[in-house]
């Protein structure tokens, strides 16, 4: 079953990412809503996995078969993530641990956790938040981000540290986002209706997390140096500070609960499918759009730099004014919508179709 | 309840219909007809179902005071009325003839043809025994309806897992309802299987005759056997559910310990990696 709430949020996530990446990579402009797309995207990866699981279980697919499909899908996304790093960010960034390699790993982990009590997922999500600052401090996070972006030596130790704690999207604490989505959807879409918690509880919890983050931001100035440096380190995505993690999980949970209440559970609204066509199109091809928008704005940059005879990345963040890069992002989204809406969902176009064909 | 026109025409003028309801002993009612023992906690009262009253009687009595037996034609008309609503368990009526008293009986409608001075005695006896027999029939009906459910629940008596967690409440309700039926049967059994009264009276004989005719003794035994099957299955189900709950809690605790150990290992490995890196 497709839930409009998931489609709407995934559309928001992908649109935010496109509108952030174009001006950031072409004009070195950081829009104010930077850092809101990826948390939503990773939160929804957990939600979607639970919804997919419910669908498979309802169809009577065996547990073993579900595991096989999940592992294939996880490895597929992980592999595409590596291919993406090599082809889009060029081979020196193979191990930058971008969002796709993270989501691939998260899918593999969720496959293990789906059979365990939900309280174990909650425990791991909490532990992930708690240990992340300690891991970053142990690894000396700033030494991997000296130029404002992640760089590591191609040694096994650095690669593993990057994967676990210091990369762009390391397992800790980003796994908390996927787990939060998975837990929320597991509780909210429990096949036993009587055991479902009330939706308002998620709304309150999401709001609570957001307020907690805001309080953290306020009190960090008065906290001891060790806390303000490692735990309440302010609002930033790289590394994801505790306040950032709390606020974005709270936001994702709040938005999802509210949309589920007022859109999914509103038969009048849901009956009109045409209302959600835009969201459905963007949501269905979010993975493809994520890859495509990088190709569209980064490849010309690398080719132009190469043709000009300098460094391939010479024009990165220095190619055009923001007044052009943002309209270009909007144009890309418009063209994407017009092209993708014509594609028959059953055709195997797009990375999602290839994944279904290959992994089941 | 009004009688059909053809029946009214063939009955003597004194014939009357009594609508009876079984209510709690605590209920205040002036028109009390019979009080059951404390264990049953019921009493029979006469109710009016005419006019605006929406009350449905539990039992309807047609009392025909007559000194001589009615002819076959009249008996046939009365039998038709007695069998009016086909009872799910007892679709046909029984006819008892004893000491110039004629009784046509079905669980919900009874016709008593007796001399005026004997009517009350027979009426009270019939109310009492009919209540017990009806209760027995209700339990039989409940049980007979549940066989398909029982068959579908038998696998749970062997294995209960996480996928069946959603059925816990439903199984608990079934478990409770089976024990309620058992309690109900135990409560009425002493009255259903009570020994013959000596010296016999008209009332006691009427009750004993009816109990014999509906084979109360056999039915109680069969019902008890059937309830035992249900009890065994649902007891095993409840055992499986409790075992699963215990195992689930233990399992969760074990996993929590494993996760904490993994975190410790992660820190050690991470520490080693950072040292090796530098």
Task: Give the mean model confidence (pLDDT) for residues A268-288.
Answer: 88
* Residue B85 confidence (pLDDT): 64
**Dihedrals φ, ψ of B193, to 5°?**
-105, 25
- Is B267–A134 a contact, with Cβ atoms under 8 angstroms apart? yes
- The strand pairing partners of B16, in sequence order, are B63
Backbone angles phi, psi at B103, to 5 degrees: -130, 130
B205: closest CA of chain A, how far (Å) = 54
Which tokens hold the place of B98?
Answer: 């004893």
Please compute the mean of the pLDDT values over residues A307-326 and round it to a whole number.
91
Phi, psi of B142 (to 5 degrees): -55, -45
- R_g (Cα) of chain B, nearest Å: 30
- pLDDT-based confidence at B10, cuts 50/70/90? confident
The more confidently predicted of residues B152 and B165 is B152
Question: Is B271 a domain residue?
Answer: no
Q: Is residue B248 part of a domain?
A: no
Asked whether residue B1 carries a pLDDT value surpassing 60, the answer given is: no
Q: What is the mean pLDDT of chain A?
A: 93
pLDDT for residue A197: 92
Percent pLDDT > 70 in chain A is 100
CA-based nearest distance A122→chain B, Å: 10
Helix (H, G, I), strand (E, B) or coil at B103: strand
Residue B76 resides in a domain: yes
End-to-end CA distance of chain A: 17
In chain B, % of residues over pLDDT 70 = 94
Could you give the CA distance from residue B42 to residue B22 in angstroms, rounded to a whole number? Answer: 6
Q: Could A139 and B270 be called an inter-chain contact, meaning their C-beta atoms sit closer than 8 Å? A: yes
pLDDT band at B87; cut points 50, 70, 90: low
Measure CB to CB from residue A117 to each of B169, B251, B263 and give the nearest one.
B251
The pLDDT value given to residue B9: 74
pLDDT of residue A282: 93
Is the pLDDT at A261 greater than 90? The verdict is: yes
Residues of A in contact with B166 (CB under 8 A): 191-192, 195
pLDDT of residue B89: 62
Tell me if B245 is assigned to some domain: no
pLDDT at A332 over 70: yes
- Number of domains, chain A: 1
Span B59-65, average pLDDT: 91
The answer to whether residue B246 sits within a structural domain is: no
Q: State how far the Cα of B183 lies from the Cα of B186, in Å rounded to an integer.
A: 5
Nearest residue, CB atoms, B256 vs list A123, A153, A160 = A123
Domain that holds residue B186: 5-238
Q: Does B51 touch chain A (CB under 8 A)?
A: no
What the block records as the tokens of B59 is 């039992």
For the residues B182-190, what does the mean pLDDT come to? 95
Domain housing A221:
4-359
Taking contacts as CB-CB distances below 8 angstroms, the residues of chain A near B250 are none
Residue written as token pair 């979010």: A286
Give the ranges where chain A is alpha helix by DSSP (H): 4-27, 37-58, 63-88, 99-113, 118-139, 156-161, 171-188, 199-219, 225-230, 242-259, 267-271, 277-284, 286-307, 322-340, 350-359
Question: Where is average pLDDT lowest: A77-91, A325-339, A346-360?
Answer: A346-360
Q: Which chain A residue shows the shortest CA-CA distance from B253?
A: A120
State the pTM of this model.
0.81
Q: Tell me, yes or no, whether B129 lies in a domain.
A: yes
Q: Residue B3 has what pLDDT?
A: 72
User: Which of the two residues, A145 and B162, has the higher pLDDT score?
Assistant: A145
Please give the pLDDT value at position B54. Answer: 52
3-state SS of A162-231 is: HHHHHCCCCHHHHHHHHHHHHHHHHHHCCCCHHHCCCHHHHHHHHHHHHHHHHHHHHHHHHCCHHHHHHC
In a domain, B270, yes or no: no
CA distance A107 to A70: 7
> In whole angstroms, what is the distance from residue A72 CA to residue A54 CA?
18
Q: Does residue B273 sit within a domain? A: no
Total count of domains within chain B: 1
**Contact criterion met (CB below 8 Å) for A352 and A288:** yes
The reply to whether residue A157 touches residue B277, judged by beta carbons under 8 angstroms, is: yes
């Amino acid at each position: 079953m497709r839930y409009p709430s998931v489609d709407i949020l995934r559309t928001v996530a992908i649109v935010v990412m496109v509108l952030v990446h174009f001006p950031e990579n072409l004009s070195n402009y950081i829009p104010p809503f930077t850092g809101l797309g990826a948390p939503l995207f990773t939160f929804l990866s957990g939600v979607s996995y639970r919804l997919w699981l419910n669908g498979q279980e309802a169809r009577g697919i065996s547990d073993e078969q579900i595991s096989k499909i999940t592992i294939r899908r996880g490895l597929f996304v992980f592999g595409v993530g590596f291919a993406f790093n090599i082809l889009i960010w060029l081979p020196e960034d193979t191990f930058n641990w971008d969002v796709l390699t993270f989501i691939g790993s998260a899918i593999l982990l969720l496959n293990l956790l789906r059979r365990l009590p939900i309280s174990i997922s909650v425990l791991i999500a909490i532990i992930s938040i708690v240990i992340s600052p300690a891991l970053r401090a142990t690894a000396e996070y700033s030494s991997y981000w000296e130029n404002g972006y992640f760089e590591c030596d191609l040694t096994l130790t650095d690669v593993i540290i990057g994967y676990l704690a210091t990369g762009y999207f390391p397992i800790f604490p980003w796994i908390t986002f996927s787990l939060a989505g998975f837990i929320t959807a597991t509780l909210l879409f429990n096949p036993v209706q009587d055991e479902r918690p009330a939706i308002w509880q998620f709304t309150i919890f999401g709001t609570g997390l957001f307020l907690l983050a805001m309080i953290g931001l306020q009190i960090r100035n008065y906290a001891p140096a060790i806390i303000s440096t490692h735990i309440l380190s302010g609002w930033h995505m790289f590394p994801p500070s505790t306040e950032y993690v709390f606020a974005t999980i709270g936001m994702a949970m709040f938005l999802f609960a509210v949309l589920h209440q007022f859109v999914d559970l509103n038969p009048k609204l849901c009956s009109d499918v045409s209302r959600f066509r835009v969201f459905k199109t963007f949501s269905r091809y979010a993975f493809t759009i994520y890859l495509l928008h990088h190709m569209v704005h980064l490849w010309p940059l690398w080719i132009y730099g190469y043709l000009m005879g300098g460094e391939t990345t010479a024009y990165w963040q220095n190619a055009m004014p923001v007044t052009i890069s943002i309209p270009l992002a909007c144009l890309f989204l418009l063209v994407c919508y017009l092209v993708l809406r014509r594609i028959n969902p059953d055709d195997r176009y797009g990375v999602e179709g290839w994944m279904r064909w290959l992994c089941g | 309840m009004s009688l059909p026109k053809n029946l009214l025409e063939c009955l003597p003028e004194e014939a009357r219909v009594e609508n009876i309801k079984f209510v709690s002993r605590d209920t205040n009612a002036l028109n009390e007809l019979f009080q059951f023992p404390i264990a049953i906690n019921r009493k029979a009262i006469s109710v009016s179902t005419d006019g605006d009253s929406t009350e449905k009687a539990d039992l309807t009595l047609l009392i025909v005071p007559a000194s001589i037996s009615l002819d076959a034609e009249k008996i046939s008309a009365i039998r038709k009325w007695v069998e009016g609503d086909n009872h799910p368990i007892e679709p046909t009526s029984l006819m008892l003839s004893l000491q110039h008293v004629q009784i046509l009986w079905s669980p919900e409608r009874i016709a008593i043809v007796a001399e005026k001075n004997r009517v009350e005695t027979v009426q009270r006896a019939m109310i009492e025994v009919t209540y017990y027999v009806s209760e027995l029939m209700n339990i039989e009906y409940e049980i007979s309806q549940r066989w398909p459910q029982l068959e579908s629940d038998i696998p749970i008596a062997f294995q209960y897992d996480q996928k069946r967690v959603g059925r816990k409440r439903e199984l608990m309700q079934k478990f409770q309802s089976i024990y309620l039926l058992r309690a109900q049967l135990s409560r009425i059994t002493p009255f259903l299987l009570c020994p013959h009264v000596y010296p016999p009276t008209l009332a006691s004989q009427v009750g004993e005759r009816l109990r014999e005719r509906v084979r109360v003794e056999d039915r109680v035994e069969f019902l008890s056997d059937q309830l035992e099957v249900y009890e065994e299955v649902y007891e095993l189900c409840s055992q499986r559910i409790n075992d699963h709950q215990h195992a689930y809690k233990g399992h969760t605790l074990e996993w929590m310990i494993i996760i904490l150990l993994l975190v410790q290992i992660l820190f050690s490995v991470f520490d080693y990696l950072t040292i090796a890196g530098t």
